[in-house]
């Protein structure tokens, strides 16, 4: 299981002039007219919104790291465009301008789900739609991702280790939980992991299909698409459900299995992760 390494923490991180942004974008869309917004909320990348339908995404130099890659994201998006009807950005162009690595892509309509207040029913409908979308993403031919070479790959043993580390961090980072309760919970988690068995198939993951990256229509709050595939690696599908609560994951799974069931091995992993999640939520 690979660790994340930052390559050039001290590098300068200038915001590009509008004229340069437009010069790059006009290589792919001649009619591009105006830079409307600069967004740095993504952390590893900075995006420039051009007109109402184009995004120029650039790698922030000081945030260049081993786990994130614009080139990897471009490959993933092109696979999705070619082989699915998933609602993701369409790549218009990828390249470098001197030291600037960039992707020019279409903009997903709507706003990030974290920016709207969803009713109970709206959230359920969003989870069902997202579950169906994740199934399309996970059902891609995985050999192309393996052959590509840009996607780190987990080993079977990494599944339990990833779950172990993530839940350990949650427990140990909560000062409200006594040392005795922490020890008991960690022992219970270990028992669940030992019973989990074989992991089943690994796939190229989005990694964080959660509220900041899931878009909805600003008025109807219906699902409109998903962005940000740059942290992808090949691992167990459960980690594309990780950020949601246990109850939300159940609804997500309903969407995920709406057209075909999952394997017994997948179901076992899902139930194990849910059991650990319930344990954490009860602390």
Q: Tell me, what's the pLDDT at 3?
A: 60
Q: Tell me, what's the pLDDT at 1?
A: 62
* Positive or negative torsion for Cα 31, 34, 39, 40: positive
Residue spans of the domains in the chain: they are 18-106, 111-282
Q: Tell me, what's the pLDDT at 4?
A: 58
Q: Tell me, what's the pLDDT at 6?
A: 45
- Point out the residues of the chain with pLDDT beneath 70: 1-12, 41-43, 61-67
Predicted TM-score (pTM) of the model is: 0.91
Q: How many CB atoms lie within 10 A of CB 75?
A: 22
Q: Tell me, what's the pLDDT at 45?
A: 83
Q: Are 138 and 237 in contact (CB under 8 A)?
A: yes
In CATH, what class is 111-282? alpha beta
Burial pattern 123-145, b for ≥16 Cβ within 10 A else e, equals bbbbbbbbbbbbbbbbebebeeb
Q: Which CATH architecture has domain 18-106?
A: 2-Layer Sandwich (3.30)
Q: Tell me, what's the pLDDT at 25?
A: 98
Residue (of 199, 210, 201, 205) closest to 233 by Cα position: 205
| Whole-number Å distance between alpha carbons of 66 and 7 | 8
Q: Tell me, what's the pLDDT at 17?
A: 95
């Amino acid at each position: 299981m690979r660790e994340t390494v930052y390559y050039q923490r001290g590098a300068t991180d200038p915001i590009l002039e509008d004229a340069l942004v437009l010069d790059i974008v006009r290589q792919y869309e001649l009619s591009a007219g105006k830079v409307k917004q600069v967004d740095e909320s993504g952390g590893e990348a900075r995006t420039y919104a051009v007109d109402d339908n184009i995004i120029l995404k650039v790698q922030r130099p000081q945030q260049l790291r081993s786990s994130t890659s614009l080139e990897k994201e471009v490959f993933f998006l092109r696979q999705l465009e070619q082989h699915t009807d998933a609602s993701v950005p369409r790549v218009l162009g990828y390249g470098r301008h001197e030291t600037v690595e960039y992707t020019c892509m279409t903009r997903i309509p709507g706003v990030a789900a974290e920016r709207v207040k969803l009713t109970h029913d709206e959230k359920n409908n969003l989870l069902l739609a997202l579950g169906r979308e994740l199934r399309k993403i996970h059902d891609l031919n995985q050999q192309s991702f393996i052959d590509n070479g840009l996607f780190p790959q987990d080993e079977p043993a990494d599944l339990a280790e990833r779950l172990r580390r993530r839940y350990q961090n949650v427990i140990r980072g909560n000062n409200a939980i006594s040392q005795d309760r922490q020890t008991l919970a960690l022992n219970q988690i270990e028992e669940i992991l030992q019973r989990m068995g074989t992991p089943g198939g690994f796939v190229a993951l989005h990694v964080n299909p959660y509220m900041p990256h899931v878009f909805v229509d600003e008025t109807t709050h219906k699902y409109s698409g998903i962005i940000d595939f740059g942290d992808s690696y090949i691992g167990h599908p459960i980690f594309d459900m990780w950020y949601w609560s246990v109850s939300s994951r159940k609804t997500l799974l309903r969407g995920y299995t709406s057209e075909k069931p999952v394997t017994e091995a997948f179901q076992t992993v899902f139930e194990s992760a849910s059991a650990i999640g319930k344990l954490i939520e009860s602390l």
